[in-house]
Amino acid sequence: MAYIEGFVAAVPRTNKEAYRKHAEKAVPYFKKLGATRMVETWADDVPDGKITDFKGAVKATPDEDVIFAWIEYPDRATRDKANEALTNDPAMSDMSDMPFDGKRMIFAGFEPIIDEGKKGKVGYVDGSVIPVPAGNKQAYLESSKKMASLLKECGATRVVDAWGDDVPDGKVTDYKGAVKAGADEKIVYSWIEWPSKEVRDKGWEKVMSDPRMQPNQMPFDGKRMIYGGFAPILDQ
């Protein structure tokens, strides 16, 4: 089964190109370690939340933007070996030359429970992080399948929901704190791929007006879900 390493970080707005080059330089290294795809996206339509949001998740300052990124691996074993190699490589483990504050980056390993649609170059991404009660996994899966079907009807090319599997606690920030997760909740890292922002905007209009959305009782606390729209800056 495929495995996802999901990241969220705050990057100074003026460092956007430096960050893109930093990520691009890392692609061959991760591919050599077994990664099949690496995607980096930059905040484009990321709203402020009343309880939680992407900016708060990584303690972003007014001059920083949020990135939503992931690496796809064929399985967890490949990902674990890659992380071990990274830890033992001084050139990759040194955070001093990164164009952002690595101490506020949040990362974790996730197992996809939904992966529907075609894989290909993405034009726009809706990213979200969701706290879901562990006992509601099946209910969440069933709800996600219905939503994925509707999203694809409305123009989405791929829908992925990945269940928290290796989610570490952080000293400054982490996924649990990002959504104020309780001890009985798991983290879901989710994204929707669209051909373009225009298709995404029109697609959501169709989704929200579709009668199948009503009534829609979610198997999690939607008030603590963080979400936003992101423009790809790297997809290899």
Is the pLDDT at 93 greater than 70? The verdict is no
Residue 17 banded pLDDT, cuts 50, 70, 90: very high
Question: pLDDT, tens digit, for every residue of 206-234?
Answer: 999 999 887 678 899 999 999 999 999 99
- Peptide bond preceding 12 in cis form (omega within 30 of 0): no
Residue 119 banded pLDDT, cuts 50, 70, 90: confident
Query: Where would I find the beta strands (DSSP E) of the chain?
Result: 3-12, 37-45, 64-73, 106-117, 124-133, 158-166, 185-194, 226-235
Residue 91 banded pLDDT, cuts 50, 70, 90: low
Instruction: Tell me if the domain spanning 3-235 has CATH number 3.30.430.20.
Output: no
Q: Give the whole-number percent of the chain exceeding pLDDT 90.
A: 89
Instruction: Report the alpha-carbon angle 173-165-161, nearest 5.
Output: 90
Question: For 166, which DSSP code?
Answer: E
In sign, the C-alpha dihedral spanning 149, 150, 153, 158 is negative
The predicted structure's pLDDT at residue 155 = 98
Region 59-82: mean pLDDT is 98
Backbone angles phi, psi at 215, to 5 degrees: -75, 155
Is the pLDDT at 1 greater than 80? The verdict is no
CB 158 within 8 A of CB 116: yes
57: closest CA among 186, 232, 231, 181? 181
The predicted structure's pLDDT at residue 213 = 84
106: closest CA among 180, 46, 175? 175
Q: Where is pLDDT greater, at 98 or 165?
A: 165
The predicted structure's pLDDT at residue 88 = 87
Question: pLDDT, tens digit, for every residue of 175-196?
Answer: 999 999 999 999 999 999 999 9
119: closest CA among 75, 163, 157, 71? 157
Whole-number average pLDDT of the chain = 95
The predicted structure's pLDDT at residue 96 = 59
Can you give the C-alpha Rg of the chain in angstroms? 17
Is the pLDDT at 128 greater than 60? The verdict is yes
- The burial class, CB within 10 Å (0-12 / 13-18 / 19+), for 91 is exposed
Give CA–CA dist 51/189, Å, rounded.
18
CB 57 within 8 A of CB 226: yes
| Helices and strands counted in the chain (H then E) | 7, 8
Report domain extents, the chain: 3-235
To which H or E segment does residue 142 belong?
A: helix 137-153
The predicted structure's pLDDT at residue 229 = 98
Region 31-54: mean pLDDT is 97
